[in-house]
Amino acid sequence: MKSFINVKPESHFPIQNLPYGVFRPRHGGKPRIGVAIGEYVLDLSVLEKAGLLKETGVEDRGIFDQPSLNPFMALGKNVWKKVREILQHLLNEDEPALRDDPWLRRAALRKQSDVELLLPAQIGDYTDFYASKEHATNVGTMFRGKENALMPNWTHLPVGYHGRSSSVVISGTDVHRPKGQMKPLDKDQPIFGPSQQLDIELEMGWFIGLGNERGQPIPIKNAEEHIFGLVLVNDWSARDIQAWEYQPLGPFLSKSFATSISPWVVPLEALEPFRVEGPKQEPPPLPYLQKDEASSFDIELEVYLKGKDMGHSQKIISTNFSYLYWSMAQQISHHTVAGCNLRPGDLQASGTISGPQKEKRGSLLELTWRGAEPMNLYNGEQRVWLEDGDEITMTGWCQGDGYKIGFGEVTGRILPALE
């Protein structure tokens, strides 16, 4: 499959991808919905008004002339599939409807550099999981010792907590260093001030499309039908604030100040060619968490750090989504088994994704082993935790035969704490 729009092999956005996003032109105009194709954004509100999305379930409803993807997400898998098929048809190199219509092309195609990308959804609820066994083992070893690294429940259920959706921000948003209470080891009483142990968490997130009724769990065999698409997530973490506050109810201020996500939502269908088996689960999970089919994906993930005195960024992490012990389907099934209702636009995240080698650890906490092994940067600096001015960039992609299914980037820069 090839588009009439020239797409470079290294681009994250070939015709096989077509991720959805919300944008507005930089010269003015209201937000609307588009898909990324190469260096362009295809304005779906223009196609909708031109009558090119007939018989998809979205016609005459203004679904794409909206400031969020929520109404489209709520229409379900069959509509998503039909719209995707039509978009791939219209962008195909052999289809003249869009290719040979100069007016329509000018109206519908915009350079990505000419638009502002916005949060893709109105996020009602945000749930963060703890689904990487390597990450959980590393953290548990640091704080409880190797023999007690994993809590007794960890291999039986996907551990998670309800996060804060109001502070989910789009890529490129600066993040001020958070303040809070901390209890240094050499102090008898807690102190208040800016976090000194500010960290990143390399995660993937997925948006819920069609939800479920309260009291009606989502069976694991149907769980993926509720996933609209995936994004990159950096769930910033203040480790010193968290260490003091997390008992007995878990993280609070240490995680609620900001969570950054990438702007393009990659449809789950685009990832199908890259479906793989996840790690073997021992002991076998309870029946409601068992799924016969492969339920992970081969997504390469990288993290780059650029300090304020660095001329260019340095890669510090390289890992893979497939290391996750608990799958997205298992996390959704467990989330709803007690009767919780999910809604269109809800965001769920994997928790930090780590692999077996040091360079595959998805946080500074693990990379520096809680400060015992500082990270060396090419300009002679070291890092244990993030410093003011540091910019973090996360990226991810699936490698196809001559093309990539990519997620773009999620970036964020640390600013000093507010007075």
- Rounded to an integer, what distance in angstroms lies between the CA atom of residue 136 and that of residue 106? 50
The encoded tokens of residue 406 equal 């990519």
Separation CA 265–CA 228 (nearest Å): 8
Determine contact, residues 205/299, Cβ cutoff 8 Å.
no
Which residues are CB-contacts of 318 (< 8 A; sequence separation ≥ 6)? 300, 301, 302, 303, 359, 360
Contact 330, 285 (CB under 8 A): yes
Give the list of residues 6+ apart from residue 325 with CB closer than 8 angstroms, or none.
Answer: 131, 132, 133, 155, 278, 279, 281
Distance between first and last Cα of the chain: 54
In angstroms, the Cα distances linking 383 to 174, 219, 315, 366, 369 are 20, 44, 13, 12, 12
- Other beta carbons less than 10 A from residue 214's beta carbon: 10
**In which element (H, E) is residue 242 found?**
helix 239-245
Residue found under tokens 């709803």: 336
Return d(Cα 290, Cα 292) in angstroms, integer: 7
Separation in Å, CA 330 to CA 18, 115, 250, 334: 26, 37, 22, 6
- Judge whether 297 and 274 are in contact, CB under 8 Å: yes
Q: Are 295 and 221 in contact (CB under 8 A)?
A: no
* C-alpha–C-alpha distance, residues 298 and 11, integer Å: 18
Start-end of H helices in 246-348 = 253-256, 328-336
- What does the alpha-carbon distance between residue 178 and residue 173 come to, in Å, rounded to a whole number? 15
Catalytic residue among 12, 27, 89, 135: 135
Q: Is 361 exposed, middle or buried (0-12, 13-18, 19+ CB in 10 A)?
A: buried
Is 89 one of the catalytic residues? no
| Active site residue ranges | 135
